[in-house]
Amino acid sequence: MKVLKHVCAYLMMCSLVVVLHHDRGLAQENSNIPKPSTTAERDGQHDFDPLIGAWKFHLKKLLHPLTGANDWVEFDGTGVCYKIWDGRSQMDTIEMDSPVAGHIEGLTLRLYNPQSRQWRLYWANSKVGILDPPQIGEFKNGRGEFLAQDTINGKVILFVLYGQT
């Protein structure tokens, strides 16, 4: 019986909080306080424009990910990034070499969806000849966040890639 009284008292307090919160909300809606302006969503179709052109690069890749090993393989390479569809798409072609991994040729295809304001980044290696599932994401406040699914040693993983502009 004592527990029932506590439950009833708790429910009455919750109802009072909801009623007071609701009344305060109505008062704010009817007041003359200016409402904050809504800003238009950011158009990110030019997020990757700084990559357009020819590049030389040095890349490091973890040799055995998700194993706890800390062995890295390094690559030196060149690449060219092409602007397509007035910047709503881009393609990179790359060639890189490593004493451990050998010669790699590949491409990255980036496609911008103006409705979702998100990018899809696809990778293809010339040895395999297929586009991997895309990394999907966008830039907000100078920070890019892209999600992707991959398979490592037969195990499907989901990873997040972060970048700065």
Run means of pLDDT, 10 residues per run, the chain, 165 residues: 34 32 39 53 87 94 87 94 92 93 93 95 93 91 89 84 74
- Closest to 110 measured CA to CA, from 52, 40, 43, 42: 52
Q: What is the structure's pLDDT at 32? A: 53
HSE-CB for 102 with a 13 A CA cutoff? 5
Tell me the pTM. Answer: 0.68
Q: What's the start-to-end Cα distance of the chain, in Å?
A: 62
Structure tokens of 71? 């062995």
Q: What is the structure's pLDDT at 154? A: 84
Domain ranges of the chain: 49-164
Was domain 49-164 assigned CATH 2.40.128?
yes
Sequence-ordered list of residues with C-beta below 8 angstroms from that of 126, at least 6 positions apart, any chain? 104, 105, 106
d(CA 89, CA 111): 5
HSE-CB for 114 with a 13 A CA cutoff? 7
Compute φ and ψ for 151, nearest 5 degrees.
Answer: -125, 125
Q: What is the structure's pLDDT at 40? A: 65
